């Protein structure tokens, strides 16, 4: 079955939009490759190697889709910047796990669910369904790694600094996603959509122990 471009989407925008999915998967793969050597030998590292293979498969699937369209667009500068934040990451592995498995994965999953719902190309929907199944497993690996890191036992200063850096990373990813949304639906993503995304991420930060009980206002103040 050939790719089907939605009637309301100009060809150029179709190419730019689907190319961002390819580049997004490449960012996920590179981020995991940066994280791999920081993990201890054993099951965690093996699970991460499996994830890298999954991400390579996702890159392949989008590359095949674009080859059938017969064109490809470069990554958005914001996406390149997001990858830069990750590749330049210094410090503990836990920060990188938060960056890759909480910020990147959860943003990617949200975009993919939106796409599966609104993008009426059966080939694209099949790719996003298959990769969403893997992404669910990747999120679970992130939860296990973060549980092992006992984030809540870290000093508040350390967690505030991590939170600040993760906010910068999220801002770039969210702005790139908002631009893609504007391209697909011919309108800019509403402010409320960004706010919802940030609130969703804060809730995840609370669940993994980056933000402790009773610390909400402290973290909100620091990121204002
Ligand atoms: Fe992926
Ligand atoms: Fe993933």
Domains, the chain, with CATH or none: 11-222 (1.20.1260.10)
Whether the Cβ atoms of residue 14 and residue 5 lie closer than 8 Å to each other: yes
Centroid of ligand 1 to alpha carbon of 124 (angstroms) = 14
**Residues sharing a CB contact under 8 Å with residue 202, sequence separation 6 or more, in sequence order:** 211, 216, 219
What is this structure's pTM? 0.88
Whether the Cβ atoms of residue 8 and residue 114 lie closer than 8 Å to each other: no
Question: Which one is predicted more confidently, 108 or 97?
Answer: 97
Q: What is the mean pLDDT of the chain?
A: 88
Centroid of ligand 1 to alpha carbon of 68 (angstroms) = 20
Q: Per-residue pLDDT tens for 6-45?
A: 888 889 988 998 898 899 899 999 999 999 999 999 999 9
Q: Which whole number is the average pLDDT over 132-161?
A: 91
Centroid of ligand 1 to alpha carbon of 44 (angstroms) = 18
56 has pLDDT over 70: yes
Count CB atoms within 10 A of the CB of residue 77: 10
Q: Residue 200's closest CA among 111, 67, 76? A: 111
Give the confidence band of 67 by pLDDT, cuts at 50, 70, 90. Answer: very high
Centroid of ligand 2 to alpha carbon of 44 (angstroms) = 15
Centroid of ligand 2 to alpha carbon of 65 (angstroms) = 19
* Cα separation, 139 vs 87, whole angstroms: 20
Least confident of 30-39, 96-105, 117-126: 117-126
Count CB atoms within 10 A of the CB of residue 56: 16
* Cα separation, 1 vs 9, whole angstroms: 19
Centroid of ligand 2 to alpha carbon of 71 (angstroms) = 24
* Cα separation, 166 vs 174, whole angstroms: 12
Which residues make up the environment of ion ligand 1, defined by Cβ < 5 Å?
Answer: 25, 28, 55, 58
Centroid of ligand 2 to alpha carbon of 161 (angstroms) = 25
């Amino acid at each position: 079955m050939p790719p089907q471009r939605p009637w309301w989407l100009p060809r150029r925008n179709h190419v730019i939009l689907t190319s961002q999915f390819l580049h997004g998967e490449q960012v996920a793969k590179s981020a995991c490759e940066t994280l791999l050597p920081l993990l201890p030998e054993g099951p965690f590292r093996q699970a991460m190697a499996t994830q890298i293979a999954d991400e390579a498969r996702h890159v392949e699937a989008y590359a095949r889709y674009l080859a059938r369209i017969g064109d490809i667009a470069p990554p958005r500068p914001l996406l390149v910047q997001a990858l830069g934040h990750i590749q330049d990451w210094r410090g503990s592995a836990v920060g990188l796990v938060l960056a890759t498995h909480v910020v990147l994965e959860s943003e990617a999953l949200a975009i993919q669910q939106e796409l599966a719902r609104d993008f009426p190309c059966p080939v694209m929907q099949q790719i996003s369904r298959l990769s969403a199944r893997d992404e669910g497993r990747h999120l679970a690996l992130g939860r296990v790694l973060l549980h092992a890191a006992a984030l809540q036992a870290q000093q508040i200063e350390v967690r505030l600094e991590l939170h600040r850096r993760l906010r910068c990373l999220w801002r770039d990813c969210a702005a790139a996603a908002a631009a893609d949304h504007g391209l697909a639906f011919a309108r800019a993503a509403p402010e409320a959509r960004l706010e919802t995304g940030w609130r969703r991420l804060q809730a995840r930060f609370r669940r993994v122990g980056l933000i402790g009980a009773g610390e909400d206002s402290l973290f909100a103040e620091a990121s204002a």
